[in-house]
Amino acid sequence: MKALTWCAPYKVSVEEVPQPKILNQRDAIIRVTSTCICGSDLHLVDGFIPFMKPGDILGHEPMGIVEELGPGVDQSKIRVGDRVVVPFMISCGECFFCRRQLYSCCDNTNPKSSIGEAMHGQATAGVFGYSHLTGGYAGGQAEFLRVPFADFNLQKMPQEFTDEQLVFLTDIYPTGYMAAWQCDIKPDDTVAIWGCGPVGQFTIRSAALLGAGQIIAIDDEQKVPERMQMARDGGAITIDMHDEYVYDRLMDLTGGIGPDACIDAVGMEAHGYTAIESLYDKVKTNLFMETERPHAFRQAAMCCRKGGTLSVPGVYGGFADKIPLGAIMNKGLTIKTGQTHVHRFVPELLEHVKQGRIDPSFVVTHRLPLSEAPRAYDMFRAKEDGCIKVVLDPAA
């Protein structure tokens, strides 16, 4: 089968690899019908997460049709021929964390937990196509995918919607939703969101679904006018970080107290707000003295109102410098973060789609064959051709 593999920083290729097979009792094999490129794939491809090996198959946003089930799969839950979405995190459903619906913290699905223990103290769940830090599982940018604990992980989907309307339930729609949900939004709250990429877009719409009074989105009007327009279409007021003072504008919009919730939907590869800060992080990351460029997080902490919430769906991998802990402590901020507990949100978010409150396909700008994935990565990274979200078609 065809699969997209990582070969070196900034280099991916489409290769012919063996078909996946059942390796554990409760595995399923999925024929992938749609699979997406995620912003966090760029962190991996660009070498920001140092646990990639050449030949690793990428991709953690796939959906498809069940082709084969292992002998241990509970067939009252999942059957051959079912149309399914595959959450990007792999969970067991039985451990301490899964019982508390903290599915991305599952204890039992990461075969390489010792790496996570060394790096972070404790390991997260396994993730498809997301480096050896999360288990080294083959990813979903391929024609077929093996899914462990299939009767727990696979999410059955109805037939009446298109792939584009459902496929984002794998990751970015629940990720944007959890980012807003964990801010405990009240009707008179102002929510500010850094980053108008795909997760930022879903965060904007989720904040609206959760009843936020005012939504503000921050990005660069010069570089990504199409993303800023999409944010405005979703009901957000936009701040152009290129031409405006973000802090001043946020204070203007909130009567000087700052946003109640500040959400960093950018993560580790942020581009800076001031030349000195940018240069500082660039030098440190290039010397491996720092693994992140946390500009968005720093600014969010400085802008957030006293007693407010900082929510971080943006991905970080290691260590960051110059975190304004003084602002966080003295203002009494609450930090909420985490890889997304996808399974927890799928039923509720599917219901929003069914009720017509959201059509997740709004974010799609490109649908390309899997064979063109290397070009799609370059386009997505450079934000060329108005690229916001790419869906790949393995059958094309």
Q: Which is nearer to other proteins, 113 or 238 (CB)?
A: 113
41 binds other proteins (CB under 8 A): no
23 binds other proteins (CB under 8 A): yes
The tokens 């990429």 sit on which residue? 197
377 binds other proteins (CB under 8 A): no
101 binds other proteins (CB under 8 A): no
Pairing of strands 261-264, 190-194: parallel
356 binds other proteins (CB under 8 A): no
- Residue of 165, 154, 166, 160 whose CA lies nearest to 68: 154
Residue 329, judged by CB atoms within 10 A of its CB (0-12, 13-18, 19+), counts as exposed
Distances (CA, A) of 30 to 33, 41, 68: 9, 21, 7
> Whole-number minimum distance, CB 72 to other proteins, in Å?
7
95 binds other proteins (CB under 8 A): yes
Q: Applying CB under 8 A, which of residues 74, 94, 384, 385 lies at the interface with other proteins?
A: 94
Distance CA 271, CA 249 (A): 19
Question: Please, are residues 360 and 209 in contact by the beta-carbon 8 Å criterion?
Answer: no
Stretch that binds other proteins, among 103-111, 170-178, 240-248, 296-304 (CB under 8 A): 103-111
25 binds other proteins (CB under 8 A): yes
Distance CA 203, CA 220 (A): 17
119 binds other proteins (CB under 8 A): no
115 binds other proteins (CB under 8 A): no
10 binds other proteins (CB under 8 A): no
Q: Which is nearer to other proteins, 114 or 222 (CB)?
A: 114
Pairing of strands 2-8, 56-57: antiparallel
> Whole-number minimum distance, CB 386 to other proteins, in Å?
30
Residues 6+ away with beta carbon under 8 Å from 364: 164, 388, 389, 391
Q: Applying CB under 8 A, which of residues 15, 67, 220, 393 lies at the interface with other proteins?
A: 15
DSSP symbols for 288-338: TS-S-B-HHHHHHHHHSPTT-EEEE-S---S--S---HHHHHHTT-EEEE-
Distance CA 118, CA 125 (A): 15
- Residue of 234, 81, 98, 212 whose CA lies nearest to 153: 98
> Whole-number minimum distance, CB 35 to other proteins, in Å?
15
Q: Which is nearer to other proteins, 109 or 311 (CB)?
A: 109
35 binds other proteins (CB under 8 A): no
24 binds other proteins (CB under 8 A): yes
Q: Applying CB under 8 A, which of residues 9, 10, 21, 211 lies at the interface with other proteins?
A: 21
Distance CA 122, CA 392 (A): 33
26 binds other proteins (CB under 8 A): yes
Q: Applying CB under 8 A, which of residues 43, 60, 146, 389 lies at the interface with other proteins?
A: 146
Question: Please, are residues 321 and 284 in contact by the beta-carbon 8 Å criterion?
Answer: yes
> Whole-number minimum distance, CB 25 to other proteins, in Å?
5
Which letter does DSSP use for residue 229 in this model? H
339 binds other proteins (CB under 8 A): no
**DSSP bridge pairs for 31:** 65, 144
Q: Which is nearer to other proteins, 24 or 222 (CB)?
A: 24
Q: Which is nearer to other proteins, 102 or 192 (CB)?
A: 102
Quick note: the x/- pattern for other proteins over 46-65, rule CB under 8 A, is: --------xxxx--------
> Whole-number minimum distance, CB 174 to other proteins, in Å?
23
44 binds other proteins (CB under 8 A): no
- Rounded to 10°, the helix 225-233/198-209 angle is 10
153 binds other proteins (CB under 8 A): no
DSSP symbols for 71-121: TTS-TTT--TT-EEE--SEE--SSSHHHHTT-GGG-SSS-TTHHHHHHHHS
Q: Applying CB under 8 A, which of residues 48, 88, 130, 149 lies at the interface with other proteins?
A: 149
Q: Which is nearer to other proteins, 26 or 295 (CB)?
A: 26
Q: Which residues bind other proteins (CB under 8 A)?
A: 1, 3, 5, 7-8, 13, 15-21, 23-26, 54-57, 72, 90, 92-96, 99, 107-109, 111, 113-114, 126, 135-138, 142, 146, 148-149
